[in-house]
Structure formats: C-alpha cells, structure tokens
Structure 1
Amino acid sequence: MTPEQIVRTFVDHFHRRGHRSAPESPLIPPPGDPVLFTTSGMHPLTPYLAGRPHPSGRRLVNVQRCLRTTDLDEVGDPTHLTVFDMLGTWSLGDYGIGPSLRWGYELLTDGFGVDPGRLHATVFGGDDQVGPDETALATWTELGVPVELTRAENWWSNGPTGPCGPDSEIFVWTGDGPPTGTPGGDDRWMEVWNHVRMRYHRHDDGRLEPLPQPNIDTGMGLERLEMVLRGGRSVFECVGLTPWVEAVRDRWPLDETAHRIVCDHLRSAVVVLGDGVRPANTGRGYVLRRLVRRALTTLWRDDESRTLAELPDQPYADTLRRFRQRGDVEPLRQVLVDEERRFRALLRRGRPVVERCRSRGPLTDADYAWLHDTHGLPRELVDGPLGEAA
C-alpha cells in the first residue's frame, strides 16, 4: 500500500465508527505555547482533552506532522525519525479503552492484513498511584493477543507535567520466521500503535489529578506502519524517504548509520523550513540549525568538500508535497546552502582554537563545553577528521 492508501484506509475505518476529521496543525504551536514544535497529534488537542468542547465532536481522527528531538540520538537506527506523520484518533469523554483496542485490532488485521500471530501488546501493570489497566488486559486476552505487563514503559505523558495516563502499546513482529520472546526482550518486536487512557493531569509535585473527562488518545507512526506493511527492515525503505535515500547515496559514499542521519536531518530541515522557521541561535531556529549542522558534520567526516548544493530538486519537492506544505524549492535550498556557508566559516575560525586547546594536552569535558558554548563547535566534529586536522 502507498502512504496515501494507508492514510485513506485508516481515516475511513474510523469515519465508519463515528469519528470526524480534525484539521492538521502546523509544526509551530500557537503563541503562548511553551513547546517549540508539535510533538504529537494530541498536542494541539490539549484544551479539548481538558474538557473544552471540540467543534467537530467527541470522536476525532487526523494525520499530523510531528517533530521530536528527544530521540535525536537514536536517529541512524532502522526505526527512528525526527519528523514523521502521526495517524491519530481521540475519544473526548466518549468511548473507553476497550472499543479503542478492538477497533485497532480490526484495522491492523482486517484493514491492513497483518497476521494476528505477529501481534503482541504491552499494558500498564500498575504502580504506587494507579492500579493495573485490567480493561486493556482483558480486551487483549479476549482477542487472543499475547500481553506483557510493565510499569513506567506503559505510562504516557508529554512531559513532566500535564495530561497523562496508562497506555497499551501494540507491537508487530518484524523478524524472519515465527515470533519469539516479548517486546521487552527482543527488538524485532516494533511498536506501531499506542493507545493512551488520558485520564490524569500531573502537577509539579508529582500529584495526579483526574481530568474533567476520561479520554482516549492513540497515535501510530505512518512510516513505521508502512515499513511493516512492506515487509521492510527500515523506515528508510519507505516511499517518503526514498528520494533522500537515493539522492544522498548517488552522491556521497556513507556508511549505513551516517547515510540515515544525513537523510533524516535534511528531510526534517526541509519540513521545518516549510512551516516558516529559519536558522537562528535560539528557539526553533536553533533546532533547525542543529539539524543542518549535524547533517553537515556527518557528511564532512570523510570529505569536507561535499556540499548541499549538489542535491537535486526532487527530494525537496517530494517532502513538501508529502507533508502537505506549499512553497518553492529554490528559496529553501538557498537557506540550507547559506547555512552551510556560515558553518564552513565557523569551522575555519575554530580550527586555530581547537589547535591551541590540543597543544595543552588531551581535551577535557570542560574544553569540549567551552568549544561548543563559546565557538559553536560540536564535540563530534572536534573529535572527527576536522579536529584531527587541527
């Protein structure tokens, strides 16, 4: 199935169950929101989870582009992306976790044709504040899906405070042969869908207060689902990543991890640019600058002459289209090329500084911190070929 077919199958499944489409939000939250970027489908719906009536009703479905920097160090493995599409559903004080899990099971097995024998679930097993999610456990048992009980791993929150609750995660076996083990002990089990009982608000002191209404919030990464349905081993095999994968591979020989980092960060940078952010030293602009410079740092480890100007238009245009953004490619390309030029100038100025530091002996943590904070030189670059050349 193409990404478009996956999205249509997902949305239609929930339309038939009384859900109405909620509008997608940009990556940039509205003024006054302390979060830099939209990190999940539920983020724009926070006021409605707290009880405000939503204009589209109490059952919602949508697709939301998201950006997460919490997993930035994981990018380079087969499953993590910085920017991705999230397929989401919500019950705002309507149905509970039982129907949500059953509908999810029906969609995966009947709608997408996933073999039920490749499914495994995890359920919140309780802690010192909240008891085990017996309804979720009973639902999975009734459906014949193996269940693993956990504690913190199955408690969802969007930060140290705010809406939260126990969740149930659905995993699909991606290994060869019949499934073995459990998600907690075998990384061939890949999480594809999270169903959260959004029932509490956590305060600064850790206290849990029940929300005015119990909600259900689910999220499923489109790229991970596509990977499962394609029988692939990496999200970088998916249609939305292919233009970047091919463009980078055709120009620069990189090892697999470096290749994934460069593809992810450049693709993510284009999406951030497409929502109006420009490189800066603070806030959202700094996140964008960090993505570009991490990509360049990886790209230049073996050859500093490599330049983003060599990339064709196709990956830019494809990314804007797939993330439902408008804009011309050339202005975005020019922003990235200008940022590359600034970074090169920074490195030229920084080489003598690194050389002086190294002349005093091995670099300490304090040296690395000073090089980064004062001169903007990341540790991975100082330790790489450019640092050695200094």
Structure 2
Amino acid sequence: MRTDHIIRTFVEYYEERGHRRITGSTLLPPPGDPVLFTTSGMHPLTPYLEGRPHPLGKRLVNVQRCLRTTDLDEVGDATHLTVFEMLGTWSLGDYGGPLSLDWGYGLLTEGLGIDPGLLHATAFAGDDRTGPDTASAELWQGLGVPVELTVEDNWWSNGPVGPCGPDSEIFFWSGDGPPRSTPIRDDRWVEVWNHVTMTHRRHGDGSLVPLPQRNVDTGLGLERLAALLQGKQSVFACDVFAPWRHLVPPLWSLEEPACRLISDHLRSVVVLLGDGVRPSNTGRGYVLRRLVRRVLTVLWREDASRTLGDLPEDLVHHTLDHFHQDARPADVLRHLLDEEHRFGRLLTRGRSVLARPRFRGPLAEEDFHYLHDTHGLPRDLVTSLREE
C-alpha cells in the first residue's frame, strides 16, 4: 500500500465519520508560537484546542508535515526522520478517547488490513494526582487487544504549562514470528499512533486543573506506518524514499547508516528551502545550515571532492512535488552549493586558527566563545575539527 493510498484511506475514513479535512500548514508555526518549527499536527490548532470555535466544526482531520531536531542523533535508525508527515484527527469538545480508539482500531484492521494479532496498546496507569485511564483500558480489553499500563509513558503534556492528559498508544509488531512480550520490554513493538485525551491544564506550580472542554488529539506517523504496511524494516525502505535509494548510492559510496542520514538531511533541507527558510546563523536558518553541514561532514570524511552539485535535479523536484511546494529545483540546488562553498571556506579558516599554539591543548569555555565570536566557529565544528 503506497503512501498516497494510505493518506486517501485515512482521510476518507474520518470524513465518513463527520470529520472535515483542514489544509496542513508549512513547517513554519503560526505567529506567536514559541517553537521554531511545526513539530506536530496540533501546533496550528492550538487556539482551537484552547476553546476558540473552529470554522469547520468540532471534528477535524489533516496531513501535516513536521520537523523535529530532538531526535537528530537517532536519524539513521529504523524509525526516526527529521522531516516527516503526521496524519492527525481531532475532537474539539466532541467525542471522547474510547470512541477515538475504537475508530482507530477499525481503520487499522478494516481500512488498512492489519492483523489485529499484531497490535498492542498502552494506557495510563494513574498516579497520585489523577486516576487510571480505565475507559481506554476497558475499550482495548473489549476489542481483544492486549494493553499495558504505564505512568510516565502515557501522560502527554504540551510543555511545562498548558493542556495535558492521559494518552493511549497503539503499537505494531515488527519482529519475525508471533508477537512477544510488551511494548515497554521489547522494542520490536513500534509505536504508530498516539491518542491523547486533553483533560487538564498544568500551571506553572505543577498543579492540574480540569479543562472545561476536553479534546482528543491523535497523531499517526505516515512514513513509519507505510514501512510497516509495506513489510519493510526501516522508514528509509518505504516508497517515499524510493528515489533516494535509487539515486544517492551511485553518487557517493556510503555505508547504510551514512546513506540514510544523507538522504534524510538533504530531503529535510529541500523541504525547508521549499517553505521559504534560508540559511543563517540563528533560528530556523541555523537549523537548515546545521543539517547541510552534517551532510557535508559525512561526505567529506572519506572524499573531500564530493559535492552537492552532483545531486540530481529530478530528486529535488520529486521532494518538492511530494510536499506540494512551488520552489524551483534550480534555486534549491543553488542554495545548497552556496552553503557548501561557505562551509568549505569556514573549514579552511577553522583548521588554520586551531593550528595556533594557543588552541593545541584543552579548550576553556572562554576559548569556545572567542572562536565563535571572533572567527565564526561554532562549538560543534571546533570539536569536530579537533577530532580530525
């Protein structure tokens, strides 16, 4: 089942149940949001989760592209991506968590054809402030799905203050042979769908106050689900990455983890540029610049003659088209080459500066500040150069 089929099945399933599709936004969050990028489908909907009436009603569904930098060091494993797509549903003060879970189970088993025996769920066990999520646990038990109760892993919060509540997560068995153990004890159980019931608001002092409007917010990772449905062991093996698997290896001879990182980061950079982000030394532009430099560090580790100018325009076009972006592939490639040349000059200057006697021993904090403020050498780059 291709990703476009998954998206169509998902959206139509919820439209049949009274949900209205809303247009997914760019990676740039709405004005006033403190985060650099949209990290989940709920970010653009924050005002409506706070109680403002949504013009399309109380039941919503969408597909939202997201970017997360918290998992950068895990990119290259079987499940983590920097830019990914999130399938989401929302109940804004309408139906509750058990119905959301029941519909989710129906989509997975009937709509997408997943064997119910390959599913496992988790639910909130309760703590000294709120009771257990018995409604979700009983729903799963009634469907015949094994459920594991946890505390920390099944309480969702949107930061130190704001809406929060219990969540119930759905896991898919990815191992060989029949399912074993539980999601907490065996990482072959892959989380695919999180259903959050927003029941409380957390205040700055840590206290919880019940919300007048209870919402349900769900998020389902598209690439992760696609890999599982397509019988692949990695998100990088699903159909979304087929052009990258076909075109990147002939360009640069790389081990599998490095090839995955290169494909993920370049794909993410293309999407960032397509959404209007430009390289800079701060904020969103620095995230873009950091991704490009991570790519070049890997490429040049074995061969300094490698260049992003070899990246096929067709690959850039495919990514822009997939995310419905209007940027010109030639402009994207021009920005990549500009960053490559800038980074090359910075490396040359950095090696020259670090060769001075002053920087041959252990570096103090004031040295890092000096190297950054005077020579434009970030801490991570200085550390990397000293390891050469």
TM-score range, shorter chain: over 0.9
Q: What amino acid is aligned across from residue 92 of structure 1 in structure 2? A: L
User: 1:74 offset after TM fit, Å?
Assistant: 1.2
Instruction: Tell me if structure 2 keeps the 8 A contact 1:357–1:367.
Output: no
Task: Find out whether 1:73 has 2:34 as its counterpart.
Answer: no
- 1:205-243 superposed Cα distances (whole Å, 9 cap, x missing partner): 222232230000000010001001001000001222222
Distance in 2, Cα, partners of 1:357 & 1:102: 67
Cα distance change on mapping 1:149 and 1:372 into 2, 3 Å: farther
User: 1:301 offset after TM fit, Å?
Assistant: 1.5
Stretches (4+) displaced over 4 A? 362-384, 386-389
- 1:330-363 superposed Cα distances (whole Å, 9 cap, x missing partner): 0111011101110111001000222236863356
- 2:228 is aligned to 228
- 2:182 is aligned to 182
Q: What amino acid is aligned across from residue 282 of structure 1 in structure 2? A: T
- 2:153 is aligned to 153
Q: What amino acid is aligned across from residue 65 of structure 2 in structure 1? A: R
User: 1:327 offset after TM fit, Å?
Assistant: 1.9
Instruction: Tell me if structure 1 keeps the 8 A contact 2:350–2:382.
Output: no
Alignment of 1:240-319 (within 5 A): 240-319=240-319
Alignment of 1:1-390 (within 5 A): 1-356=1-356, 360-361=360-361, 375=375, 377=377, 387=386
Instruction: Tell me if structure 2 keeps the 8 A contact 1:297–1:381.
Output: no
Q: What amino acid is aligned across from residue 173 of structure 1 in structure 2? A: W
Cα distance change on mapping 1:120 and 1:378 into 2, 3 Å: farther
Distance in 2, Cα, partners of 1:379 & 1:244: 31
Instruction: Tell me if structure 1 keeps the 8 A contact 2:227–2:233.
Output: yes
Cα distance change on mapping 1:42 and 1:388 into 2, 3 Å: closer
Distance in 2, Cα, partners of 1:249 & 1:263: 10
Q: What amino acid is aligned across from residue 178 of structure 1 in structure 2? A: P
Q: What amino acid is aligned across from residue 211 of structure 1 in structure 2? A: L
Once superposed, what is the RMSD of the aligned Cα atoms? 2.0
User: 1:14 offset after TM fit, Å?
Assistant: 0.6
Distance in 2, Cα, partners of 1:373 & 1:175: 50
What SS class does the counterpart of residue 301 from structure 1 fall into?
A: helix
Q: What amino acid is aligned across from residue 41 of structure 2 in structure 1? A: G
Cα distance change on mapping 1:387 and 1:185 into 2, 3 Å: same
- 1:283-310 superposed Cα distances (whole Å, 9 cap, x missing partner): 1111111111111112221112211000
Instruction: Tell me if structure 2 keeps the 8 A contact 1:20–1:61.
Output: yes
User: 1:157 offset after TM fit, Å?
Assistant: 2.2
Cα distance change on mapping 1:233 and 1:377 into 2, 3 Å: farther
What SS class does the counterpart of residue 317 from structure 2 fall into?
A: helix
TM-score by length of 1: 0.94
User: 1:128 offset after TM fit, Å?
Assistant: 2.3
Q: What amino acid is aligned across from residue 45 of structure 1 in structure 2? A: L
Cα distance change on mapping 1:383 and 1:32 into 2, 3 Å: closer
Instruction: Tell me if structure 1 keeps the 8 A contact 2:93–2:214.
Output: yes
Q: What amino acid is aligned across from residue 250 of structure 1 in structure 2? A: P
User: 1:64 offset after TM fit, Å?
Assistant: 0.5
Distance in 1, Cα, partners of 2:81 & 2:224: 10
Q: What amino acid is aligned across from residue 247 of structure 1 in structure 2? A: L
- Number of residue-to-residue matches in the alignment: 388
User: 1:140 offset after TM fit, Å?
Assistant: 0.6
Cα distance change on mapping 1:358 and 1:126 into 2, 3 Å: farther
Cα distance change on mapping 1:357 and 1:195 into 2, 3 Å: farther
Cα distance change on mapping 1:357 and 1:200 into 2, 3 Å: farther
What SS class does the counterpart of residue 239 from structure 2 fall into?
A: coil
Distance in 2, Cα, partners of 1:369 & 1:261: 29
Distance in 2, Cα, partners of 1:331 & 1:312: 13
Q: What amino acid is aligned across from residue 115 of structure 2 in structure 1? A: D
What SS class does the counterpart of residue 302 from structure 2 fall into?
A: coil
Q: Which runs of 5+ in 2 are unaligned?
A: none
TM-score by length of 2: 0.95
What SS class does the counterpart of residue 355 from structure 2 fall into?
A: helix
Instruction: Tell me if structure 1 keeps the 8 A contact 2:354–2:360.
Output: no
Q: What amino acid is aligned across from residue 137 of structure 1 in structure 2? A: A
**Larger displacement relative to structure 2 (4-13 or 20-29):** 20-29
Distance in 2, Cα, partners of 1:301 & 1:372: 23
Distance in 2, Cα, partners of 1:277 & 1:266: 14
Instruction: Tell me if structure 2 keeps the 8 A contact 1:90–1:216.
Output: yes
Q: What amino acid is aligned across from residue 26 of structure 2 in structure 1? A: P
Instruction: Tell me if structure 2 keeps the 8 A contact 1:86–1:221.
Output: yes
Distance in 1, Cα, partners of 2:130 & 2:357: 53
Identity %: 65
Distance in 2, Cα, partners of 1:235 & 1:373: 40
User: 1:138 offset after TM fit, Å?
Assistant: 0.5
User: 1:26 offset after TM fit, Å?
Assistant: 1.6
Instruction: Tell me if structure 1 keeps the 8 A contact 2:164–2:199.
Output: yes
Distance in 2, Cα, partners of 1:113 & 1:181: 23
User: 1:254 offset after TM fit, Å?
Assistant: 1.5
What SS class does the counterpart of residue 241 from structure 1 fall into?
A: helix
